[in-house]
């Protein structure tokens, strides 16, 4: 497949008379005129960069419906036929990619430019960051090309010896044995293509192999069979007049897994330009964010630089199809919504400025006034630091009116068994809250949550040891208490009543499905659904489920909704008249499935309760590449030069046949703010678009963990936390049965969920 494009290019020159055609790299090609070609398959030869010749047989056939109507891209607004242009867009995507393939690495819809020699951005662990141009056609009030920059990690094109010395910090000499670093090296190299460069005395060309892992023993003792006789890797190379420099190093096991091909590490290097479907490590992600977070001005300059690099308008294929890209970005009209006012205890109001607000000396809107019995568990640290932590928690809790007993029960734990003993005692003595000071690294957080929530029904608040030791200050503990008050069924703040967005008796529902990374397909996907059960959209309860890996739509929506309706009725003594459903994590092609499966599940649950609320379903799309660049320059309060929070775009670039809008609701802390796209796919209550936009913006101010507007509405954000908690419950599992069986083994203690429905925040 790697050379399909080269083979087609050779075929185009030799058998199509050099006629211009756009090829998608798989099984389709497009041409402006009918191509004259033989009905027989034709042989072509391709030479790879290492001098090896590959033979391909190509056969061209006309499809049944061979004409693509490009005029539909001009007429769809007038004709109101919106599915017809999709085929034309598919064709033009292939055409648009033509100038990029020869000079860049393709990954998804992005084309990544190779780094200049000596100028790679090192992410650590053997990876570098590359910048790519993302490009796709989109329909607005006319067709647009959506361009943006994207960033991705790629394995560095270095020798395996250099990788081990630089990133495993292991100096290589004749005595080096890598067995104790086997796991780290294998986890990096497995699935990576390497270039094997035979010694000059072999007279052979370099070859590319995929790595399976490392040999069990070094080259000096690794045996394989050659012509029916057993020999070691070192002996084989010696028989061909090459002495292995590092005979004590393990070999690479490459090629088909059942063929035992072993190569000396010293003769191998990593092939460049490999886009891997791997999850980046936490340090890699942090390094990537530092690299990618740029102001709107810098981002715009990078996009223009890549457009100039690829020279679309000079490409013969693009020209032949009559396409020309404008040099300027599209200018759109925006509206800025008014931020809501935030209400605390005793009708005290805080004003939102630049997406955030200050509590100052205000107290939580509704703290639960019963004194709460609490404890602190700590591990390997000094007691006086724990006592300081207790003191600042008590002081800050009084400031915001969270009622904790005057003294905490402070205990030490050494291991998991200690946690069991303490949690059992806390349960017997009805403790309301336990702070657990956890190590800075490791899986203790996951262990604590599994034991506390699946076994004992104990409310916990984890805090890292480094925070208690080095970062203890009133602001830090104030942020922790935002979570604690919500977990204890308090309401941190509400929004001042706004007649523009008054929806009487509404349940806000949020849902998200998190999927395992492509290299972990045996792990199930986790569904998280959060639903409000108070008049303000401030208090939520959650449900989680496990379902088969990579399934986008939620299978169990009916039973989930039934449970949310039960909790809503328990708190409000009535059922909702409106359900506003924010669905996160859905790709564009899945909208019909969400409508047919999930909305049907919600309706079925309502039917069982003999109610018929008005349902509005809004798809929340964060994974897109639309960005807004203001015309002005940066300011003291906006150093990244982003648009103001509350900016809405609902014309020109939105799909003409869909109720759709873009909104930036937050102030970006670093880099260019990413607008969230909202697609309304169901609206049985005929909610006005202006009402829906303001309601959505208001809900971005209701995330209980911080005093700032977040990038999408609280119900969807909380659903993401619910799914993340479900993922925590799977930590430590190595063999998975069916998702249903795994879920049944991980049920949350029912009375705990009833007592503290917002425990997951």
Beta partners for residue 531, in sequence order: 509, 541
Q: Is residue 663 in a domain? A: no
- Whether the pLDDT of residue 632 is over 90: the answer is no
Neighbours of 316 (CB within 10 A): 10
Task: Give the CATH number of the domain where residue 235 resides.
Answer: 2.170.260.10
Same domain, 547 and 459: no
- Whether the pLDDT of residue 203 is over 70: the answer is yes
Rounded CA gap, 385 and 365, in Å? Answer: 31
Rounded CA gap, 361 and 682, in Å? Answer: 43
Same domain, 398 and 431: yes
Same domain, 458 and 403: yes
Q: Is residue 741 in a domain? A: yes
pLDDT score recorded for residue 500: 75
Neighbours of 231 (CB within 10 A): 16
Same domain, 579 and 720: yes
Centroid of chain to Cα 607: 35
pLDDT score recorded for residue 635: 66
Q: Is residue 718 in a domain? A: yes
Contact 221, 232 (CB under 8 A): yes
Same domain, 599 and 734: yes
pLDDT score recorded for residue 634: 65
Task: Give the CATH number of the domain where residue 560 resides.
Answer: 3.30.420.10
Task: Give the CATH number of the domain where residue 471 resides.
Answer: 3.40.50.2300
The residues, any chain, with a CB within 8 Å of residue 97's CB and separated by 6 or more, are 22, 24, 106, 111, 135
Rounded CA gap, 538 and 379, in Å? Answer: 34
Give me the phi and psi of 363, to 5 degrees please. -110, 160
Dump pLDDT digits (tens) for 130-159.
999 999 998 898 889 999 999 999 999 999
Range of the domain at 478: 367-487
Q: Is residue 219 in a domain? A: yes
Q: How many domains does the chain have?
A: 4
Rounded CA gap, 635 and 47, in Å? Answer: 55
User: Cα–Cα–Cα angle for 155, 159, 164, nearest 5°?
Assistant: 80
Dump pLDDT digits (tens) for 171-181.
999 988 899 99
Q: Is residue 258 in a domain? A: yes
Contact 601, 554 (CB under 8 A): yes
Q: Is residue 333 in a domain? A: no
Same domain, 476 and 532: no
Rounded CA gap, 440 and 310, in Å? Answer: 45
- Whether the pLDDT of residue 279 is over 90: the answer is no
Scanning the structure block, which residue is given the tokens 């109610």?
611
Which of residues 20, 40, 67 is at a domain's end? 67
Look at the chain and count its residues.
761
Same domain, 604 and 710: yes
Same domain, 705 and 589: yes
Same domain, 481 and 573: no
425 or 116, which is more confident?
Answer: 425
Contact 200, 211 (CB under 8 A): no
- Whether the pLDDT of residue 83 is over 80: the answer is no
- This prediction has a pTM of 0.92
Burial of 64 (0-12, 13-18, 19+ CB in 10 A): exposed
Same domain, 385 and 451: yes
- The kind and range of the H/E element at 603 are helix 599-608
Tokens of 291: 């690299």
Q: With cut-offs at 50, 70 and 90, classify the pLDDT of residue 372.
A: very high
Which of residues 22, 43, 67 is at a domain's end? 67
pLDDT score recorded for residue 424: 98
Mean pLDDT of 450-466: 98
Dump pLDDT digits (tens) for 642-673.
999 999 999 999 988 789 999 999 999 889 99
Neighbours of 183 (CB within 10 A): 9
Average pLDDT of the residues of the chain: 94
Q: Is residue 120 in a domain? A: no
Percent of the chain at pLDDT > 90 equals: 85
Same domain, 617 and 743: yes
Which of residues 226, 250, 270 is at a domain's end? 270
Rounded CA gap, 214 and 191, in Å? Answer: 12
Same domain, 409 and 435: yes
């Amino acid at each position: 497949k790697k050379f399909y494009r080269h083979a087609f290019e050779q075929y185009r020159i030799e058998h199509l008379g050099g006629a211009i055609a756009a090829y998608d790299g798989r099984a389709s090609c497009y041409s402006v005129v009918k191509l004259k070609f033989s009905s027989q398959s034709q042989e072509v030869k391709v030479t790879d960069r290492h001098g090896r010749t590959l033979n391909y047989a190509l056969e061209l056939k006309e499809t049944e419906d061979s004409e693509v109507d490009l005029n539909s891209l001009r007429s769809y607004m007038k004709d109101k036929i919106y599915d017809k242009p999709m085929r034309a867009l598919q064709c033009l995507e292939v055409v648009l990619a033509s100038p990029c393939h020869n000079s860049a690495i393709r990954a998804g819809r992005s084309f990544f430019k190779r780094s200049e020699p000596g100028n790679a951005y090192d992410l650590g662990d053997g990876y570098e960051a590359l910048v790519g141009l993302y490009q796709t056609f989109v329909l607005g009030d006319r067709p647009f090309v959506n361009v943006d920059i994207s960033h991705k990690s790629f394995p560095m094109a270095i020798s395996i010896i250099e990788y081990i010395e630089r990133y495993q910090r292991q100096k290589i000499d004749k005595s080096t044995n890598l067995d104790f670093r086997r796991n780290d090296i294998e986890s990096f190299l497995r699935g990576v293509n390497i270039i094997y460069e035979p010694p000059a005395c072999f007279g052979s060309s370099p070859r590319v192999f995929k790595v399976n892992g490392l040999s069990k023993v070094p080259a000096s003792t690794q045996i394989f069979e050659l012509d029916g006789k057993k020999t070691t890797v070192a002996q084989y190379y010696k028989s061909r007049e090459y002495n292995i420099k590092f005979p004590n190093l393990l070999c690479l096991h490459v090629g088909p897994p059942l063929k035992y091909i072993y190569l000396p590490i010293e003769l191998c290097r990593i092939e460049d330009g490999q886009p891997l479907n791997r999850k980046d490590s936490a340090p890699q992600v942090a390094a990537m964010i530092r690299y990618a977070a740029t102001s709107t001005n810098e981002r715009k300059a990078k996009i223009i630089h890549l457009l100039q690099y690829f020279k679309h308008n000079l490409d013969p294929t693009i020209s032949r199809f009559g396409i020309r890209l404008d040099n300027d970005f599209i200018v759109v009209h925006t509206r800025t919504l008014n931020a809501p006012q935030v209400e605390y205890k005793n009708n005290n109001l805080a004003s939102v400025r630049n997406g955030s607000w200050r509590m100052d000396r205000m107290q939580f809107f509704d703290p639960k006034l019963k004194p709460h019995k609490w404890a602190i568990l700590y591990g390997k640290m000094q007691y006086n630091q724990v006592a300081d932590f207790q003191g600042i928690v008590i002081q800050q809790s009084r400031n915001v009116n969270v009622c904790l007993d005057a003294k905490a029960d402070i205990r030490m734990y050494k291991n998991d068994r200690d946690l069991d003993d303490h949690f059992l005692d806390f349960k017997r003595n009805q403790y309301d809250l336990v702070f657990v000071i956890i190590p800075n690294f490791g899986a203790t957080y996951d262990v604590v949550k599994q034991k506390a929530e699946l076994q004992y029904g104990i409310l916990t608040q984890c805090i890292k040891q480094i925070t208690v030791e080095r970062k203890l200050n009133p602001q830090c503990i104030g942020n922790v208490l935002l979570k604690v008050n919500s977990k204890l069924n308090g309401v941190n703040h509400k929004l001042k009543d706004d007649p523009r967005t008054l929806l009487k008796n509404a349940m806000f529902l949020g849902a998200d499905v998190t999927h395992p990374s492509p290299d972990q397909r045996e792990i199930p996907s986790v569904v998280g659904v959060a639903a409000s059960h108070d008049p303000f959209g401030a208090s939520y309860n959650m449900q989680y489920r496990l379902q088969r890996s990579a399934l986008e739509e939620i299978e169990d929506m009916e039973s989930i909704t039934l449970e949310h309706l039960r909790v809503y009725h328990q708190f409000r003594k009535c059922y909702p008249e409106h359900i506003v459903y924010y669905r996160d994590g859905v790709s564009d092609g899945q909208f019909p499935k969400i409508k047919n499966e999930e909305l049907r599940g919600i309706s079925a649950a309502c039917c069982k309760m003999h109610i018929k609320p008005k349902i509005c379903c809004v798809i929340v799309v964060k994974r897109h590449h639309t960005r807004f660049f203001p015309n002005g320059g940066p300011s003291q309060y906006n150093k990244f030069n982003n648009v103001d929070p509350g900016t809405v775009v609902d014309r020109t670039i939105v799909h003409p046949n869909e109720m759709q809008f873009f909104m930036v609701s937050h102030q970006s802390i670093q880099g260019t703010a990413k607008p969230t796209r909202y697609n309304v796919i169901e609206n049985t209550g005929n909610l006005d678009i202006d009402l829906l936009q303001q309601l959505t913006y208001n809900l971005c101010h209701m995330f209980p963990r911080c005093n700032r507007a977040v990038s999408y509405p609280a119900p969807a954000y909380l659903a993401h936390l619910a799914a993340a908690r479900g993922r925590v419950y799977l930590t430590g599992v190595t063999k998975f049965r069916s998702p249903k069986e795994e879920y049944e083994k991980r049920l949350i203690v029912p009375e705990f969920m009833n007592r503290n429905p917002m425990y997951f925040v």
